[in-house]
């Protein structure tokens, strides 16, 4: 058990959507706010090794959440930037943490690292290397995947205690609702709320609606990350998911109903669907550190819509 009550912690991305929740969860389990460093990108550029060295100095634990990330459209427009930023931040931070004598490193990866058509559905961690990721988010997924290889290599050569978590798609209050870079749930909520407020007769949705996704409420994700920071110390990656799968078509219908939209949904089939199916096997997380998601999808979606209505 890693003692978070005494640990000096670096939480990258600590003011972001997930980072704010992880920070609150750390406080809940007894971490001291004065011991948690949450540098903003304006203060430290984690693409620079000198800034990573500065950030990790004197720290016992690093939880690396900072990322350049977005939805399908953003991934298609910025593949090079996404690969470089995410790879170089992670590589620099892991090396700086090793040199600084950090006792434990928690790397939060991405479901986008999985092969486009894995051998098993739900996805098993052992299938992570059994193929190339879905093309629209492959650069991002591969950049994150390389950090798993780095952590396993560092454990083998240096005895560095780095763990790797694979959360599925996150959602919840405080999500990114920017039309340029948001993921599917906030993008759809924004579209439907605006359509209702403007009395628009239709909403355009991307793709065919056939793909399925598993979504994890952000509070559950934060709890899983902190549990792993406390209890998990092995080289094998671990999935974090909700065990609930829904098609994009059904998701669109549910959001339309919850937002009160009564118009028509038009599917733009010229837009990409992305990966055909995503659902994670979460047995390892339950076995290794007792993580099981608590939030039901309908309730989590309601809370997210309510937050959007109250804040936008």
Annotated catalytic sites, by residue?
Answer: 140
Q: How far is CA 197 from CA 47, 70, 262, in A?
A: 42, 26, 12
CA–CA–CA angle 134, 140, 142 (5° rounding):
75
Question: Do the Cβ atoms of 104 and 61 come closer than 8 Å?
Answer: yes
Neighbours of 294 (CB within 10 A): 12
Nearest-angstrom CA–CA distance, 146 and 135: 17
* H or E, element range at 61: strand 61-64
Nearest-angstrom CA–CA distance, 142 and 154: 18
CA–CA–CA angle 56, 62, 68 (5° rounding):
95
The answer to whether the bond into 262 is cis (omega within 30° of 0) is no
Burial grade of 80 (CB within 10 A; 0-12, 13-18, 19 or more) = exposed
68 Cβ contact partners less than 8 Å away, ≥ 6 residues apart: 78, 81, 82, 85, 86
Question: Do the Cβ atoms of 211 and 276 come closer than 8 Å?
Answer: yes
């Amino acid at each position: 058990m890693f003692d978070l009550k005494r640990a000096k912690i670096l939480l990258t991305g600590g003011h972001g959507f997930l980072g704010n929740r992880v920070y609150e969860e750390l406080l809940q389990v007894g971490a001291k706010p004065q011991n948690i460093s949450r540098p903003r990108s304006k203060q430290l550029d984690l693409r620079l090794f000198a800034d990573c060295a500065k950030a990790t100095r004197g720290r016992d634990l690093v939880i690396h959440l900072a990322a350049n990330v977005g939805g399908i459209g953003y991934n298609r427009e910025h593949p090079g930037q996404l690969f470089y930023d995410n790879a170089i931040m992670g590589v620099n931070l892991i090396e700086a943490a090793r040199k600084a004598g950090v006792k434990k490193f928690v790397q939060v990866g991405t479901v986008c690292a999985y092969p486009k058509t894995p051998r098993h559905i739900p996805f098993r961690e052992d299938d992570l290397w059994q193929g190339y990721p879905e093309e629209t988010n492959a650069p991002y997924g591969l950049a994150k995947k390389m950090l798993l290889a780095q952590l396993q290599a560092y454990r083998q050569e240096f005895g560095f205690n780095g763990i790797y978590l694979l959360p599925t798609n996150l959602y919840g209050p405080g999500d990114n609702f920017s039309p340029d870079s948001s993921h599917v749930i906030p993008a759809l909520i924004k579209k439907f709320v605006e359509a209702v407020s403007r009395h628009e007769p239709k909403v355009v949705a991307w793709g065919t609606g056939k793909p399925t996704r598993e979504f994890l409420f952000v509070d559950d994700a934060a709890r899983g990350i902190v549990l792993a920071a406390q209890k998990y110390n092995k080289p094998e990656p671990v999935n974090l998911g909700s065990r609930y799968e829904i098609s994009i078509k059904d998701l669109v219908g549910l959001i339309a109903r919850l937002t009160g939209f009564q118009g028509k949904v038009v599917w733009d089939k010229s837009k990409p669907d992305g990966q055909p199916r995503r659902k994670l096997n979460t047995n390892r997380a339950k076995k290794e550190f007792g993580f099981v998601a608590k939030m039901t999808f309908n309730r989590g979606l309601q809370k997210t819509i309510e937050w959007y209505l109250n804040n936008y």
